[in-house]
Structure 1
């Protein structure tokens, strides 16, 4: 089963060949507009809005693209 995240979780993901870090802002469970694009999501296939610690920009990722930071 894919890991579930909650608001406030510290996560990492791969971005342009390096590892980015950020914080989960919310779980998206329906089709919506977020981070400047249309997000296709459902209860069975959620996506997560995350805010980059480095740039402060928002991005949306599938749970399999995110890794929870140890200690958070």
Structure 2
């Protein structure tokens, strides 16, 4: 999935510990920053997304290829 297809508020799914997790895109990260309890090495050429789990309310950060709309 091209990162330009994702924006804040989009509902997405990803795999975590062998399960599908559902959540919402909270932010597109395009620079090195602290997010979800770790340092994220994002850049404009290699963005990552901060997502919030619907089930737990916890934040996670993923590359665009790990996220599927839905």
Structure 1 runs (4+) deviating above 6 angstroms are none
What is the rounded CA distance, in whole Å, between the counterparts of 1:3 and 1:41 in structure 2? 12
TM (norm. structure 1) is 0.91
What is the rounded CA distance, in whole Å, between the counterparts of 1:10 and 1:2 in structure 2? 15
- Which residue number corresponds to residue 44 of structure 1? 45
How many residues were matched structurally?
A: 69
RMSD after superposition: 1.1
Q: Which runs of 5+ in 1 are unaligned?
A: none
Contact persistence 2:3–2:47 (CA under 8 A): no
Q: Which runs of 5+ in 2 are unaligned?
A: none
